[in-house]
Amino acid sequence: MSIPEVTVDELEVALAAGGRVIDVREVHEYTDGHVPGASLVVLSTVPDHVDAFRGEPAVFVICRSGARSMQACQYLAEQGVETVNVAGGTMAWILSGRPVVAGDQPS
């Protein structure tokens, strides 16, 4: 099953157009710094929160480097939920010089 992926450049454009991003890292990783507007659904709890990934606009899934978010996207695809993986994850976002938000709130 092929999972669509975007770069952080494409994610930034999508978020500006109203896209949603969900971070699947652990709580401490998220609070240390996340993409502005990102909601948190820890990877181990994705099966309990499938509905959070449904709907429009498109949902982008991010983690540290793209591996855990790909796992989440693959699981969600098996549940009939279309999501988009962010290649390179939060590290690529940070390395690109984009801002992050610390704390337990999306923004």
**C-alpha 40, offset from chain centre:** 8
List the one residue out of 53, 49, 45, 47 whose CA is nearest residue 85.
Answer: 53
List the one residue out of 34, 87, 98, 81 whose CA is nearest residue 65.
Answer: 87
Select which of 8, 43, 59, 63 is catalytic: 63
How many CB atoms sit inside 10 A of residue 79's CB? 12
Catalytic site includes residue 73: no
Residues with a catalytic annotation lie at 63
